[in-house]
Amino acid sequence: MKYFTVIFGITFLLSCSSNREENENCKFLFDIPINEVINLNFYQELLFSGNSVRIPNVGNGGIIIAFTGADYLAWDASDPNHAQSACSVLEPSGLNATCGCEDKNEYSLVNGQPLKDGTLRCVLRNYRVEQSGNTLIISN
């Protein structure tokens, strides 16, 4: 029985994986607490499917809220593949967002994945969205 317990314990410890590689490559965004209330009456474009807006002064580079027609999604507006700078803030357009830096990284606001450049390792940071009537509560 002891032999079985030792073998099981070693197998369990060796089977645990780590996400270190991803975390090492995606180190540009700070973990900033987010708790933002958005009144949709002030953002009429978010009442129509396929639109998005950037709200400044929240998170790393602001937050981007997108409406897919079915759900509201919120993302940090800072490019996770760049060090923080004036150009690393993403500009939304429909359901995509583009970095202002020279490489013009582009991301989907539906799933947070990079578009066009398959070498980008980091995806957009997603925030939780709760809707209550005409109010969105964005948090992490």
Local mean pLDDT, 10-residue blocks, the chain (140 residues): 52 46 71 94 94 95 96 96 92 96 95 90 96 96
The range of the structural domain enclosing residue 100 comes to 31-139
Residue 89 belongs to a domain: yes
How many independent structural domains does the chain possess? Answer: 1
CB 126 within 8 A of CB 75: yes
Residue 13 belongs to a domain: no
For residue 44, what are the contacts with CB-CB under 8 A and spacing of at least 6? none
- Residue matched to tokens 């933002």: 36
| Predicted local confidence at residue 24, as pLDDT | 63
CATH number for position 99:
2.102.10.10
| Predicted local confidence at residue 26, as pLDDT | 84
**pTM for this entry:** 0.80
Residue 5 belongs to a domain: no
Whole-angstrom Cα distance, residue 136 to residue 41?
11
Residue 84 belongs to a domain: yes
CB 74 within 8 A of CB 51: no
